[in-house]
Structures are given as C-alpha cells and as structure tokens.
Amino acid sequence: SQIAQWLIREKISNSINTLLEILPMSENRELAVSRLKKSISDISKPISSIYRLLVIEGGAAANYFRAWQGLPLKWTGLKNKPIPDDWREVGPRQMSWRNKTQNARHPLNGMLNYGYGMLASQMRSNVLAAGFDPSIGLLHESHYNRIPLIYDLMEPLRPIVDATVLDFAMSQIFSPGDFVINRFGGCRLN
C-alpha cells in the first residue's frame, strides 16, 4: 500500500533527522544514517507486501536504535542507592511487543514508552475527532491491538518523540529515586 510506504518512509526520514540533530558526530551515527538512507531507497521501490515493508522497517529501526547504544547517562546519589550497571549508558531498545509484561528494562526505554503513550493518546483523540475508526489499520493489525490505525499514524512521529526524550535524557542528571523497578523487573518513572 502506498499509504503504508509513505508512513514508514516518513518515519525513517525523521529518524535520520533525529540522529543528525541529537547524537554527537560518530562513526556509529554515520553508519546508521547511511543504512537508513538505503532503507528509504528500498521503500521507494515497489513493495510486494506489507510483510516486506515491515522487514525493511524493522531493519531500519534496529540500525537507528543501535546508533544510540553507549551514550552515557549522568547520575548522582549512587553511593546511597546504586543502580544496575547497564543504566549508566543507553542500551538496546527492547520492543515491548516481544515481552508480554510490556516492561521497560532501562530508564530511557521507560521514558520512551511514556512519550509514546502520550502520543498515542493525542493521536487517538485526533482520529476520533476526525471521524475515523481506530480499529482499522494497515501496519499494526493483530488480535492484540484494538486500535491499529493509531499506531500506524504514530509511526512518522515516533522519531520526534525520540528526539525530545533523548535530548532530555542527555541533558539531565538523574538520581536513582527518579525510577523504580516494579515486581516484574520493569523500570518505571517515579
């Protein structure tokens, strides 16, 4: 579908902008940008199925988030309350749909999940106000997702949320009390 291709092409384009605007210059960032540009080129060609489009999008997302790994986060108050070692820098982005408990395992992922939740709420309000049915979508159709259109329309905007969250995370000094680990091992904002 041309609409689905447009949504993912815009997401990848916005992902490139986020990397260039927020991440410091590095070999890692430049490699990710190069690979994302290749993904845009692949999407610009005729796509035989939604599955093929999602394969391209998944590869682009992996390259995008891989460029974030290793960015340091600043902490204070660790003598009184230690944090897990992997919280000291940005780690892999674990996709919540792969884990039925839907718990972030890292503070940055918790912040991203919160930002995406706010975006979903705003998008749902806009879709309903426009008179569309949020239960009819293109990319996120499944028996688990009752509002696939919302998640479809969010795709191009996710990198904008990412940029806001990443810029915030890199400019702040966190304390262990800013986050809690729930009984499932998930990291939540306090």
- The predicted structure's pLDDT at residue 97: 43
- The predicted structure's pLDDT at residue 4: 93
* Cα gap 33→18, rounded to integer Å: 10
* Cα gap 109→63, rounded to integer Å: 16
How many residues make up the chain in this entry? Answer: 190
- The predicted structure's pLDDT at residue 101: 54
Residues 6+ apart with CB under 8 A from 39: 12, 56, 57, 59, 60, 63
- The predicted structure's pLDDT at residue 15: 98
Determine the residue type at 34. S
- How far, in whole angstroms, is CA 91 from its chain's centroid? 13
Mean pLDDT by 10 residues, the chain (190 residues): 94 98 96 98 91 95 95 95 93 61 85 96 97 92 85 97 97 95 87
- Going by C-alpha positions, the residue among 65, 53, 68, 49 that lies closest to residue 9 is 53
